[in-house]
Amino acid sequence: MALLDKLRDRSAVIGIVGMGYVGLPLALRYSEVGYKVLGLDIDPRKAEALANGETYIEHIGADKIQRAVAQGLEGTTDFSRAGEADALLICVPTPLDKHREPDLSFVVKTTESLLPYLRDEQVISLESTTYPGTTDEVLKPLLESTGLTVGEELFLVYSPEREDPGNPDFVTQTIPKVVGGLTPPCQAAGIALYEQVIDQLVPVSSTRAAEMTKLLENIHRAVNIGLANEMKTVADRMDIDIFEVIDAAATKPFGFVPYYPGPGLGGHCIPIDPFYLTWKAREYGVNTRFIELAGEVNSAMPLWVVEKVAEGLNRQRKAINGSRILVLGIAYKKNVDDMRESPAVEIMEQLRERGADLAYHDPHVPHFPPMREYSFDLSSVALTEETLGAMDCVVVATDHQKVDYQLVKAHAPLVIDARGVYREPAEHIIRA
């Protein structure tokens, strides 16, 4: 197959559809090893940033963008150029709708926009997290509506993304990659597509197995974090330090993996992926009670934090209504600018509904970004003695390393710690 030869000798053109937290690192990796890369995105600002050698994701340096552009990386909003690509990797969001059911509109609309430009000898890989059956039930019919046959002229693969933004220990190249093709020729094309840029491939028997693999990875984390959060609420009532308990349990050299509680789940995967499986399982008459219970526990954590705020203010004879509250860290996890599904934002919304006068500090998020469900006309305030002293309460929602927590401890009248930043007890610090 000529396509396999082009992928292996790196003469193929790689098209990345969706140049966000998943697509951009992939584009940079393919450029790094010598492929011509075309980055397709509906956002013209991303194409403009690439053209100017600028980054739009904090943990990805502009120097990496500039090297890739010099290698031929090009960003565009012109989807007609998809015909130039020998491989198209779809990296678009798969959120939940307002009923907490899978929303595949981004995947479907993106695929539909590519259809007029598909041709013989192209491999299409879906990387977006989704339920088992999406690739063969949704993508395959769409692709074959062009008159091209999957497995003969087009080659369809599911290979779930495994990016961990801001993690310096694991990068695109070194994270093993699961690959499942719809047919044996599809699998061969998928392996040829990824083997040049990823150190270790993990072939599986089908696209459904690959889809389920991604869900299991994230449900495993969601369930164990849910357990840690539930243990936190029990330990709180018993006046036991849950972080001390977890650290002690983690000394066991077998049979235990530490997971730590927090203010709720964030990011694009862990808060969402379990619902993809529970939704699909209902089609098969299976009730996924264990997974759904973990989801309920984790979803309740922002409210738990808000109740701790109320408890702390009540001790000072104050109410949330009218109190000045500083939320410390609004990204979904530490040391990144990624706001997707951040529990800090849900905490802010609940505090606002109760009448709080809100401010936030986040060294990675200078201005509150546009979001589908939330709108705050706020910018990050400076973290100073004066700022902290003017607040009634500070909520540690995300534990960025750039924050001076001793300054916060010294000058904030009340601290609600939802991340376990403060291990030593203090009268004005409440664990949440």
Averaged in consecutive runs of 10 residues, what is the pLDDT profile of the chain (432 residues)? 94 97 96 96 94 92 94 95 97 86 93 97 97 96 97 97 85 96 98 97 98 95 96 96 96 96 85 86 92 92 98 97 98 93 95 98 95 90 97 98 97 97 94 94
Tell me whether residue 220 is in a domain.
no
Tell me whether residue 270 is in a domain.
no
- Domain shared by 49 and 152, yes or no: yes
Question: End of a domain among 162, 181, 210?
Answer: 210
Tell me whether residue 269 is in a domain.
no
Tell me whether residue 233 is in a domain.
no
- Domain shared by 177 and 58, yes or no: yes
- Domain shared by 182 and 310, yes or no: no
Tell me whether residue 242 is in a domain.
no
- Domain shared by 185 and 304, yes or no: no
3-state SS assignment for residue 275 = helix
Report, as residue numbers or ranges, the catalytic residues: 269
Q: What is the CATH number of the domain that holds 137?
A: 3.40.50.720
Q: In terms of pTM, does the model score above 0.85?
A: yes
Tell me whether residue 265 is in a domain.
no
- Domain shared by 183 and 307, yes or no: no
What is residue 218's predicted lDDT score, i.e. its pLDDT? 92
pLDDT tens-digit series, residues 176-214: 999 999 999 999 999 999 999 999 999 999 999 999 999
Q: Are 337 and 57 in contact (CB under 8 A)?
A: yes
Tell me whether residue 250 is in a domain.
no
Tell me whether residue 244 is in a domain.
no
The DSSP letter of residue 395 is: E
Question: End of a domain among 189, 210, 231?
Answer: 210
- Domain shared by 201 and 326, yes or no: no
Question: End of a domain among 210, 239, 254?
Answer: 210
Q: Where are the alpha helices (DSSP H) in 264-422?
A: 273-283, 289-299, 301-315, 343-353, 385-389, 405-411
Helices and strands per DSSP (H, E), number in the chain: 16, 13
β partners of residue 124: 88, 156
Question: Domain count of the chain?
Answer: 2
Structural domain boundaries, residue 151: 2-210
- Domain shared by 62 and 180, yes or no: yes
